[in-house]
Structure 1
Amino acid sequence: MVAGMRALVVLALLALPAGAQSACRQALLLALDVSGSVDEREYRLQLDGLAAALLHPDVVAAFEAMPDAPVRLAVMEWSGPGFQRVLSPWREVADSAGLATVAATLRGTGRVAADYSTAIGSALVRGGAEVQAQRGCWRRVIDVSGDGKSNVGPLPGSVGAELRGVTVNALVIGEAGPTAREGRSPEIGELVAYFRAYVLRGEDAFLETARGFADFEAAMVRKLLRELRVVAVSEAEGRASPTRRGD
């Protein structure tokens, strides 16, 4: 997988015009659900799982694949309409040292009091403002992780101007199994359908699933690898054959 990605990366770089190889290839905001449905154990599984995913060898290789066009990465948590907290501010990540810094920040972050409600639309508004401020990037992407439907604030599907030119992907967290506690999120199939209908946005948008928070790390690894591969493929195709999208 990594070897194939590197080949695509080389093609993308060769297709770039002279003097254009110092750009940011992607502004990537990871937005984590910390609403009332997420307990203390699940909170730690989510943050520590993301930290571990960022240090997975294949993920590190994907981030390092284009040092002349690094990824700008930030991590935010969200719950109700008035709660969006940046855990790791924007930074250019071109090597394992940068990823290690983000991972250490996440592992050292403790939970704070937050609104128990779930406002995906509000998270998208804040996330849109964050990624729109990142200039010079080939793509601007928000990754929303969530285990339930929005129940307050603007409807996710109604968020418009704030997401112009932004791709919204999702990581849907379903029940871990038949012993999951009562009253949690809907069955994963229903939740996947909801996110597909109202949350995903933009070209190449996609969704990954986790069977409970214990599966979050593995799901995030899959998601990051696909995310970074999409950039390489899109840039190689778009720059080498500008008219292809209309075929």
Structure 2
Amino acid sequence: MKYRSKILLPLANGTLLFSLWATSAEQSQAIEIIDLDVDVELQLLMDVSGSVSHQEYLLQRDGYAQAFSNDEVQQSILQGELGKIAVQLVMWSGENQQSIMADWTLIDSVESALDFSSALAELARPFWHMTGVGSAIDFGTAQFADNGFSGNRKIIDVSGDGIENSGRDTQLARDDALTEIDTINGIVISPYQSVSDFYVDEVVGGENAFLMQVDRFEQFGDAIQQKLSYEISGDGIPPQATRVSVPAPGSLYLSLMGLILVAAACKRNKEK
């Protein structure tokens, strides 16, 4: 039996209710998948490694939760071209410690944003061990495939308070991720320049990428609200942020090919 069409009622929790129409019992079976269009597919990768105390975990978790109840964040969602985003939150620690805590959810209204905020506020911590940033990025990148949404932009947002000490090489993971998604942004929760440098050199990259830094977890809530507002709207970068110019691998390839063509043309001109 062949099935045609589908869609389509996006529910508040991001689930899609599909409606299928059968055409003929003699025809071969085929189901066409149509993803729901959104402005942004946004993934939040939240550090819960051992250097994060229980109180710091709560400040970080509640900062994300309160951001989605914030008027500016809500307006950045609703004033987009389509007025809706899909968001997922993953908590991570060591090499094999990543957990989807809030799966891909459609936010297209104040009510759905508040529902998502309430869900985040109830999350319990799953890990507290090593710091595997690269492994977290690998895990996160894989979650964009077949997630039921088609975003104009795909963004990973990484929070963290330390440098890699476990798992996949972070820079390689970042470079691989940027072949699949548009941007990886970061927010460092540490006063140390070494952590900021690590995020600039190995974590952040892609289109309009930027890094924010706060010294203490107590500052995280205000910073993440501002960060998400700019991230979702795509309207530049926050005033306190650092722009990170790490182009996606495809852009590097095009630049290299351009240089090769220019060099070849110069050589031909010299030979004339």
Q: 1:157 to 1:44 in 2, by over 3 A?
A: same
Highest relative contact order (Cα 8 Å, sep 6+), 1 or 2? 1
Partners of 1:103 and 1:202 in 2: CA distance: 28
For 1:23, what is the secondary structure of its paired residue? strand
Matched residue, 2:97:
83
What letter matches 2:131 in structure 1? T
- The question of 1:154 aligning with 2:168 is answered yes
Query: Which segment drifts farther, 165-174 or 22-31?
Result: 22-31
Gaps of 5+ in 1: 1-21, 176-186, 234-245
For 1:136, what is the secondary structure of its paired residue? strand
Pairwise CA distance, 1:132: 3.7
- The question of 1:127 aligning with 2:155 is answered no
What does the per-residue CA deviation read over 1:97-144, in whole Å, with 9 as the maximum and x for residues that have no partner?
A: 1111111111111223x2510000000001111124445211111000
Task: Report how many residues are paired.
Answer: 200
For 1:139, what is the secondary structure of its paired residue? strand
For 1:85, what is the secondary structure of its paired residue? strand
Query: Which segment drifts farther, 25-34 or 124-133?
Result: 124-133
Pairwise CA distance, 1:231: 6.5
Partners of 2:163 and 2:224 in 1: CA distance: 20
Partners of 2:40 and 2:141 in 1: CA distance: 14
What does the per-residue CA deviation read over 1:44-92, in whole Å, with 9 as the maximum and x for residues that have no partner?
A: 1111111111111111111111373511111110000111111111011
Contact 1:23-1:69 within 8 A present in 2 as well? no
Matched residue, 1:173:
189
Contact 1:132-1:140 within 8 A present in 2 as well? no
What letter matches 2:139 in structure 1? R
Contact 2:77-2:83 within 8 A present in 1 as well? no
TM-score in terms of structure 1 length? 0.75
Partners of 1:60 and 1:30 in 2: CA distance: 16
Q: Going by fraction, where is strand more abundant, 1 or 2?
A: 2
Of 60, 67, 70, the match for 1:46:
60
Partners of 2:163 and 2:124 in 1: CA distance: 25
Contact 1:170-1:195 within 8 A present in 2 as well? yes
For 1:52, what is the secondary structure of its paired residue? helix
Partners of 1:211 and 1:133 in 2: CA distance: 37
- The question of 1:68 aligning with 2:72 is answered no
Matched residue, 2:179:
164
Contact 1:80-1:152 within 8 A present in 2 as well? yes
- The question of 1:118 aligning with 2:131 is answered yes
Partners of 2:113 and 2:186 in 1: CA distance: 21
Instruction: Determine what percentage of the aligned residue pairs are the same residue.
Output: 28
Partners of 1:136 and 1:49 in 2: CA distance: 27
Matched residue, 2:210:
206
TM-score in terms of structure 2 length? 0.69
What does the per-residue CA deviation read over 1:218-240, in whole Å, with 9 as the maximum and x for residues that have no partner?
A: 1101111110221799xxxxxxx
For 1:137, what is the secondary structure of its paired residue? strand
Contact 1:67-1:94 within 8 A present in 2 as well? no
What letter matches 2:38 in structure 1? C
Give the CA RMSD over aligned residues: 2.1
Gaps of 5+ in 2: 1-35, 238-254, 256-272
